[in-house]
Structure 1
Amino acid sequence: MSLFPRAVRCLLFAVVILGCSLASPAHAQSRRAQAAIEALNQRMVLAETRYREALVKIGNADPSGVDESNAALEDMEDVLVECGRIRGCGTGDLLASFKRLLKAQADAAAGIAEDDGDDTLVDEGASLPTGEVPQSATAASLLAAEDRRFLELVQMNPAVQAGIRRWLTDMRVSLITSHENYQYMQRMMSPAFKRRGLPEALLFGILAKESNGRVHSRSRAGAAGPLQFMPATGQRLGLGPDGRGFDTRYDPRASADAAAVYLGERYAELGNNIELWLAAYNGGEGRARRVHREFGGRSFWDPDVYNEFPPETRDYVPMVIAAAWLYLHPKEYGLSFPRVDARPAAIELQRPASIYELTICLGNGGTRDGYMRVLRNLNPQYEAESWIPAGTRLNATVRMASLYERWCTRGARAELARELVNSDPDTAIVRVGNVETVTLPDGRVVRQPDTPTAAASPAAVPAQPQTHRVARGDTLVAIAQRYQCDTKVLAAANGLRAPRYLVRQGQRLKLEGCR
């Protein structure tokens, strides 16, 4: 948990009390009041000492430090409350204590001595550091950062600078797309990081590098979801099949909760080395834990430590930090992240529909790419081609809900969207009988199909087949469209797992859930 916001609340509380309780002359105080005030001053001194000791523990990655610092702050709050009840109790000394504590906390987070330099947080519009590259930020610095702020000493070594260059050149489109996707999911994902004092920029950096904000991303190794959890790690953190055929690794809210827990575990194990957290996230905590132990907690950028990790991890760490930095400082690099209208709303389906159909009837709605990715990200439990029953409430935005009412419930565009989604490419092939030569009464010779037999008449067409043999190039989606099946029902009947629903050539499928 971040200590800085709590301390700020205490300081504001003290300011309120200061405005409500003005000091009275010393001679007007009774002896009892003077003794009570002196006792409060002693309690404040003791609480301040406890707080400073807790900061030392936090700096040494001792988990008990957070609880002790919170307890010390609670003691200070109690002192302030009691001071406000005593006539003549001035808060000047108490405010001075808070000022010292706030500075001590910021200095400890930045890893500097109390009298060394300025501990001010960098503002979004602040100019970039020039000249010598700053030193690495500690994890404590990042834990103390509020929302969209990094401390001044963010790591900006050549590897991170190279990452920034890549994001701003050949990967610029990916970065902007990641930001647009994240805006729609921000309300679902950022609270988990904020609750644990983790910077939102770190969440964005991981999201951009792992999936570009596409919740259905899946790697060759089996990592899945917007934050790419492997099955075993996801299961340990509460992610995986939910019993209804949906893998919650694809859920943005659940995956953000799991990521915040995971990074909290790494802080407890690896201390202040944020780069090692990211190395563990990418390459496994076992390796990161071993390297941290064998090399005495040295920095990720130490040559001995750095070379213990595979090339993929050595690339991953600076790229995440670079994306996080650009999230906070786009203007300095001439980067403009388009703003989207992500105000949440729900769409209640008035008739069955698929995400494909909704994407067509909603149109672009003033956006560049339309709403298919948004619908999929906000409703990851539904496949794009699956029919969703009427009455279902889908997560959407205010704009999308308005477009749905206008274009998707009735009218020409709604019917056109349904026609396009239901179109079957196989019906484009016209099958006829054998061609024969016929001489007409006037002597002309023409070629025409054989006269259809009774077996070929509509009344004699065989019933819908009960099975389908998978041909080369077949996919479950194509088969479901051909036979007008519900994809999920068809998949469940044949033991196929979401989201890929892999079928093999020659496999015979039971056609359940089909019209």
Structure 2
Amino acid sequence: MTFYTARRRLFGAASSLALMGSLTLVALANSYASTQTTSGQLGLTNLTPPASIADSASSQLTRRFWDELQLESQDAWTKLRDDFQWQNEAMNARVQEWIEYYRSKPENIVEITERARPWIAWITQQVEARGLPGEIALIPFVESSFDPKARSHFGAAGLWQIMPRTGDALGLQRNSAWDGRVDVVKSTKAALDYIEMQADEWYDGDLMLSLAAYNAGAGNVNRSRRSAQSRGLEGGYWDLRLPKETMAYVPKLLAISQIINDPEHYGIALPEIDGNAAFAKVALTNPISLAQAATMAGVSTIELAELNPGLKSSTIDPSHSQQLLVPADKAATLREGLASLSSGREAINIAANTSQTGMHVVEHGETLSKIALKHDLSMTDLARWNGISNPEALQPGQQLTLSGS
């Protein structure tokens, strides 16, 4: 089940109308141009389009171009606000209490939002792609203060504070070298899957109830719902009686989103964060050390480790994770380095295989004498076995037999 909003549909309709308007203006301008040419041929000079209409069309097209360009360059917070769906809940007294609490500690808000820098734009994209309320992108604020390595005394780990058994059920691998609950990409997908799954399975799509279950467990929430309904209430989130932490869970989330929705009103200065994802995924096919990957990408090992918190050893093994997160502007550099490394490994494998099968593949710069020496053969025999009359004519990639049989 998806949760697209009327706002998104209206935005899509407005975009379509804007595009139709642009096309109409272009067609109008082209029509006048065509008429002018025809009228000139016929001697009808009074059909020239008024300059004001042409200027107006040009002006509107230019203005629309810059408007669209501005939309594309939104910062992370603006994009997040565009996806908020629960701001009308902010007047609830429990939400207001938490707004005042966070408002009294602005330095905490700034610290946590700064810590969110590498992740918030990408997480917002994942939440938006599912049509979920943008507020859900801020769950790591409440769960872990946006610290991927956060661990609770109950055993929960990562941005989304996923428990071991829950992580196992969601397919998040754990071993001595890797913890998928701490990997931001894998844990985000798992957490959002879990929230949607519970909303569909238990609560007819009610995401607030699903968030309560995410914190307290579906069994506790379902019992509290039945109790509320027995008292004549509907059994929505605000009707529940749950442990103190869960009672505060959604109000905290809504309070944070309300502050981010209007930080100036609450005297908070959010850090500037680009609306594009700060990192890119680079596919891995062979094990590689974190230090070697960092050198290839041109970043520090510490920076690379911070982007890949699921890694618990100094080597990245594709059997645990088939991708490595790197700063977005370094991805191409790392891919080129990995391609060169792969080519080198392939050449080594070819050399080993051909040596075992009695063949040698000529590499750039090799001479017949060097090849003979390498394989402890006579240069004369090597030339005779391969029908070589001119040893200087060897070509890279040429295959030579290493025996007369």
> When the two structures are superposed, what TM-score results if normalisation uses the length of structure 2?
0.52
Match of 1:262 in 2: 194
Query: CA offsets per residue over residues 351-396 of structure 1, 9 Å max, x none?
Result: 96659x99xx979xxxxxxx95x6444212334x83679xx99533
Q: How many residue pairs are counted as aligned between the two chains? A: 259
Match of 1:334 in 2: 267
Distance in 2 (CA, whole Å) between partners of 1:393 and 1:248 is: 12
Distance in 2 (CA, whole Å) between partners of 1:335 and 1:187 is: 19
Shift of 1:233: 2.1
Match of 2:136 in 1: 202
Match of 2:216 in 1: 283
Distance in 1 (CA, whole Å) between partners of 2:323 and 2:129 is: 28
Query: CA offsets per residue over residues 240-296 of structure 1, 9 Å max, x none?
Result: 32x783121111122222222222234332247554333211111111123223423
Match of 1:84 in 2: none
Structure 1 residue runs without a partner (length 5+): 22-123, 126-144, 364-370, 405-515
SS in 1 for 2:311: coil
Is the 2:102–2:109 contact (alpha carbons within 8 Å) kept by the matching residues of 1? yes
Letter in 2 for 1:252: V
SS in 1 for 2:153: coil
Shift of 1:232: 2.2
Letter in 2 for 1:162: E
Query: CA offsets per residue over residues 29-63 of structure 1, 9 Å max, x none?
Result: xxxxxxxxxxxxxxxxxxxxxxxxxxxxxxxxxxx
Of residues 144, 161, 168, the one that matches 2:96 is 161
Distance in 2 (CA, whole Å) between partners of 1:255 and 1:398 is: 20
Is the 2:87–2:258 contact (alpha carbons within 8 Å) kept by the matching residues of 1? no
Is the 1:346–1:393 contact (alpha carbons within 8 Å) kept by the matching residues of 2? yes
SS in 2 for 1:396: strand
Of residues 149, 163, 167, the one that matches 1:230 is 163
Query: CA offsets per residue over residues 425-447 of structure 1, 9 Å max, x none?
Result: xxxxxxxxxxxxxxxxxxxxxxx
Distance in 1 (CA, whole Å) between partners of 2:153 and 2:140 is: 18
Match of 2:120 in 1: 186
Match of 1:138 in 2: none
Percent of aligned pairs sharing the same letter: 27
Letter in 2 for 1:249: R
The verdict on how the C-alpha distance between 1:313 and 1:291 changes in structure 2, with shifts beyond 3 A counting, is: same
Residues 1:382 and 2:311 aligned together:
yes
SS in 2 for 1:333: coil
Distance in 1 (CA, whole Å) between partners of 2:17 and 2:299 is: 53
Structure with more of its chain in helix, by fraction: 2
Of residues 180, 199, 206, the one that matches 1:248 is 180
The verdict on how the C-alpha distance between 1:19 and 1:250 changes in structure 2, with shifts beyond 3 A counting, is: closer
The verdict on how the C-alpha distance between 1:201 and 1:376 changes in structure 2, with shifts beyond 3 A counting, is: farther
The verdict on how the C-alpha distance between 1:19 and 1:275 changes in structure 2, with shifts beyond 3 A counting, is: closer
Match of 2:152 in 1: 219
Of residues 211, 221, 238, the one that matches 1:301 is 238
Is the 1:378–1:395 contact (alpha carbons within 8 Å) kept by the matching residues of 2? yes
Is the 2:158–2:182 contact (alpha carbons within 8 Å) kept by the matching residues of 1? yes
SS in 1 for 2:181: helix
CA RMSD for the aligned pairs? 4.1
Is the 2:213–2:221 contact (alpha carbons within 8 Å) kept by the matching residues of 1? yes
Distance in 2 (CA, whole Å) between partners of 1:233 and 1:11 is: 42
Residues 1:396 and 2:326 aligned together:
yes
SS in 1 for 2:197: helix
Distance in 1 (CA, whole Å) between partners of 2:83 and 2:223 is: 32
Match of 1:317 in 2: 250
SS in 2 for 1:184: coil
> When the two structures are superposed, what TM-score results if normalisation uses the length of structure 1?
0.42
Distance in 2 (CA, whole Å) between partners of 1:352 and 1:162 is: 48
Distance in 2 (CA, whole Å) between partners of 1:220 and 1:12 is: 49
Is the 1:161–1:322 contact (alpha carbons within 8 Å) kept by the matching residues of 2? yes
Distance in 1 (CA, whole Å) between partners of 2:330 and 2:273 is: 12
Shift of 1:400: 8.1
Residues 1:149 and 2:152 aligned together:
no
Distance in 1 (CA, whole Å) between partners of 2:19 and 2:126 is: 30
Match of 1:9 in 2: 12
Shift of 1:11: 6.1
Letter in 1 for 2:267: G
Is the 2:146–2:159 contact (alpha carbons within 8 Å) kept by the matching residues of 1? yes
Shift of 1:311: 1.6
SS in 2 for 1:298: coil
